[in-house]
Chain A
Amino acid sequence: MATVATAERTTPVRGPAARRRSWPVWRWAILLIAAVYFGIPLYAGLKFAGFKAFTQVTSYPQFGSAFALSLRLALIATVLTLVLMVPTTVYVHLRLPRIRRAMEAITILPIVIPPIVLIIGVLKVAPGFLISTPDLLGLEYVILAMPFAYRSLDSGLRSFDVKTLVEASNSLGAGWPTTLWRVVIPNLRTAILSATVLTVALVLGEYTMASLDNFQTFPVWIVNFEQNSGNVSVAASLLALFVTWLLLMLIVTLGSRTARRRGGAEVTLFSVGTRQITPTVGEAE
Chain B
Amino acid sequence: MTMNAAAGTEAGGSVQSAAGTGAGAPVVLDSLSRSFGAVRALDGLSLNIAPGELVALLGPSGCGKTTALRIVAGFEYADSGKVTVDGRDVSPVPAAKRDMGMVFQSYSLFPNMTALDNVAFGLRMRKIGAGERTKRATALLDMVGLAPQARQYPHQLSGGQQQRVALARALAIEPRVLLLDEPLSALDAKVRLQLREQIRTLQQRLGTTTLFVTHDQEEALSMADRVGVMKDGRLEQIAAPSELYSTPATAFVAEFVGTMSRIPGNYSGGDEVTVFGRDVPVHGEHASVSAGEVDVLVRPEGLTVEAVAGGNGIVTDRTFLGSLTRLSVLLSGDIAVKVDKTSTAATELLPGTSVQVSIPGTEPVLIAERA
The interface of chain A, by Cβ under 8 A from chain B, is 160-161, 164-165, 167-175, 178, 182-183, 186-187, 189, 261-264, 275-285
Q: Which of B52-60, B155-163, B206-214, B215-223 contacts A (4 or more CB under 8 A)?
A: B155-163
Distance of A266 from chain B, by nearest CB (Å): 14
Distance of B347 from chain A, by nearest CB (Å): 38
Nearest B residue (CB) for A284: B158
Most buried by A among B157, B158, B162, B169: B158
The interface of chain B, by Cβ under 8 A from chain A, is 73-75, 94-102, 104, 106-112, 121-122, 125-126, 153-162, 166, 169-170, 173, 179, 188, 190-191, 194
Distance of B329 from chain A, by nearest CB (Å): 40
CA distance A282 to B96 in the complex (A): 34
The majority secondary structure among interface residues of chain A is loop
Nearest B residue (CB) for A276: B155
Most buried by A among B110, B158, B179: B110
Q: Are B100 and A284 in contact (CB under 8 A)?
A: no
Q: Are A280 and B156 in contact (CB under 8 A)?
A: yes
Q: Are B96 and A161 in contact (CB under 8 A)?
A: no
Q: Are B112 and A186 in contact (CB under 8 A)?
A: yes
Q: Are B108 and A168 in contact (CB under 8 A)?
A: yes
Q: Pick from B104, B107, B122: contact of A167, CB below 8 A.
A: B104
Q: Pick from A161, A172, A278, A285: contact of B122, CB below 8 A.
A: A172
* Given contacts A170-B96, A263-B155, A283 and B111 within 8 Å (CB-CB): no
CA distance A174 to B122 in the complex (A): 8
CA distance A98 to B188 in the complex (A): 34
Collect the chain B residues with CB atoms within 8 Å of residue A285's CB: 158, 160-161, 190-191, 194
Collect the chain A residues with CB atoms within 8 Å of residue B109's CB: 168
Collect the chain B residues with CB atoms within 8 Å of residue A189's CB: 112
Q: Are A161 and B106 in contact (CB under 8 A)?
A: yes
CA distance A185 to B177 in the complex (A): 29
Given contacts A173-B96, A281-B157, 16 further A-B contacts (CB under 8 A): A161-B108, A164-B104, A168-B104, A168-B110, A169-B110, A169-B121, A171-B98, A171-B170, A173-B173, A186-B110, A262-B153, A263-B155, A279-B157, A280-B156, A283-B188, A285-B190
Nearest A residue (CB) for B198: A285
Collect the chain A residues with CB atoms within 8 Å of residue B94's CB: 170, 175
CA distance A280 to B154 in the complex (A): 9
* Given contacts A279-B155, A283-B188, A283-B191, A167 and B102 within 8 Å (CB-CB): yes
Collect the chain A residues with CB atoms within 8 Å of residue B155's CB: 262-263, 276-277, 279-280
CA distance A152 to B32 in the complex (A): 41
Distance of A228 from chain B, by nearest CB (Å): 51
Distance of B248 from chain A, by nearest CB (Å): 34
Collect the chain B residues with CB atoms within 8 Å of residue A263's CB: 111, 153-156
Distance of A250 from chain B, by nearest CB (Å): 22
Q: Are B158 and A171 in contact (CB under 8 A)?
A: no
Q: Are A160 and B169 in contact (CB under 8 A)?
A: no
CA distance A68 to B162 in the complex (A): 49
Cross-chain pairs A/B with CB under 8 angstroms, 5 sampled: A167-B108, A168-B104, A172-B173, A278-B107, A283-B160
* Given contacts A167-B75, A263-B154, A285-B160, A172 and B108 within 8 Å (CB-CB): no
Collect the chain A residues with CB atoms within 8 Å of residue B126's CB: 173
Q: Pick from B95, B112, B194: contact of A171, CB below 8 A.
A: B95
Q: Are A171 and B102 in contact (CB under 8 A)?
A: yes
* Given contacts A281-B158, A282-B158, A285-B160, A170 and B112 within 8 Å (CB-CB): no
CA distance A282 to B75 in the complex (A): 33
Nearest A residue (CB) for B162: A279
Q: Pick from B108, B110, B122, B179: contact of A173, CB below 8 A.
A: B122
Collect the chain A residues with CB atoms within 8 Å of residue B122's CB: 172-173
Q: Are B125 and A164 in contact (CB under 8 A)?
A: no
Q: Are B169 and A172 in contact (CB under 8 A)?
A: yes
CA distance A285 to B190 in the complex (A): 9
Collect the chain A residues with CB atoms within 8 Å of residue B179's CB: 171
Collect the chain B residues with CB atoms within 8 Å of residue A160's CB: 111
Collect the chain B residues with CB atoms within 8 Å of residue A183's CB: 110, 112
Nearest B residue (CB) for A185: B112
Distance of B27 from chain A, by nearest CB (Å): 15
Q: Are A283 and B97 in contact (CB under 8 A)?
A: no
Nearest B residue (CB) for A263: B155
Nearest B residue (CB) for A186: B112
Distance of B187 from chain A, by nearest CB (Å): 9
Distance of A138 from chain B, by nearest CB (Å): 30
Nearest A residue (CB) for B98: A171
CA distance A101 to B78 in the complex (A): 29
Collect the chain B residues with CB atoms within 8 Å of residue A186's CB: 110, 112
Q: Are B156 and A172 in contact (CB under 8 A)?
A: no
Q: Are B111 and A164 in contact (CB under 8 A)?
A: no
Collect the chain A residues with CB atoms within 8 Å of residue B173's CB: 172-173
* Given contacts A164-B106, A183-B110, A173 and B194 within 8 Å (CB-CB): no
Distance of A86 from chain B, by nearest CB (Å): 15
Q: Pick from A161, A178, A275, A283: contact of B125, CB below 8 A.
A: A178
Collect the chain B residues with CB atoms within 8 Å of residue A280's CB: 155-156
Nearest A residue (CB) for B73: A171
Closest 9 CB pairs of A and B: A263-B155, A172-B122, A173-B125, A186-B112, A168-B108, A170-B95, A171-B102, A283-B158, A279-B158
CA distance A229 to B69 in the complex (A): 72
Nearest A residue (CB) for B187: A283
Collect the chain A residues with CB atoms within 8 Å of residue B101's CB: 171-172
Distance of B11 from chain A, by nearest CB (Å): 16
Nearest A residue (CB) for B100: A171
